[in-house]
Amino acid sequence: MRDTCWPTTATISGRMRPQKMVTLDVEGVLIPEVWVNLALRTGINELKRTTRDEPNYDRLMTYRLEILDREGVTMGDLRAVLADMGPLDGAREFLDGLRGDYQVILLSDTFQQFASPLMKQLGNPAILCHQLRVKDDRIVDYVLRIDDHKRRSVEAFRSLNYQVVAAGDSYNDLSMIRAANAGALFNAPTNVIEENQDLPAFDSYDELRSWIDSTDPAPGV
């Protein structure tokens, strides 16, 4: 006898079209690069190296933490940098508009300690990111929530019958962008654009929003 309480997956997907979910990178897309700001503030130029320059995130973070340790930069110093930072021009308005029409999740390789003050300025959107290990105000390590979490989050959302549209600016966004139903580069540097010429690339929030709206399904469906 058929269980009438629990519809089958086929029944669920047959009743509705997938809902659109937008996943966005954060640094370089909605807020400035935290580490570049830290480099400018401390005068430590080696900290200007970002995911735009180094595709291997573990290598990049190990490099950064070694520099912070060597130079004696504390979590308190980082908090001071974060307190002075705000979102990129137009980011809050773009995000507010997007959240009005779609489910939006920020997928970031930043850390909870960095994200918290900045997310308040963006209206507290949902964000999935990592954690720093801090001891006596010194950053001693970092902990990835899960390996390749951007791609795996997109795959999980797709398995929940969401149509995922993704955008980011750097190497660490490519697996997310390529796992999505539709993906684009935003504010990406020339090297990333040239190495991924099959991806649409945008530099303004208006262009990105128009492209997101143009992907299927249409807003409100």
Tokens 């791609």 belong to 151
Shortest Å distance, C-beta 191 to Mg ion: 14
From the number of C-beta atoms within 10 Å of its C-beta (0-12, 13-18, 19+), residue 191 rates as: exposed
What Cα–Cα distance (Å) separates residue 76 from each residue in 20, 53, 153? Answer: 39, 26, 31
Q: State how beta strands 19-24 and 103-111 pair.
A: parallel
- Distance from chain centroid for Cα 122: 13
Can 136 be counted among the known catalytic residues?
no
Q: Please give the residue ranges that form the binding site for Mg ion (CB under 5 A).
A: 25, 27-28, 169-170
Active site (annotated) includes residue 93: no
Buried b (16+ CB within 10 A) or exposed e, 127-147: bbbbebebeeeebeebeeeee
- Which tokens hold the place of 36? 């570049």
Inter-axis angle of helices 91-101 and 205-214, to 10 degrees?
10
Pair 207, 201: CB distance under 8 Å: no
Q: How many helices (H) and strands (E) does the chain have?
A: 10, 7
Active site residues: 25, 27
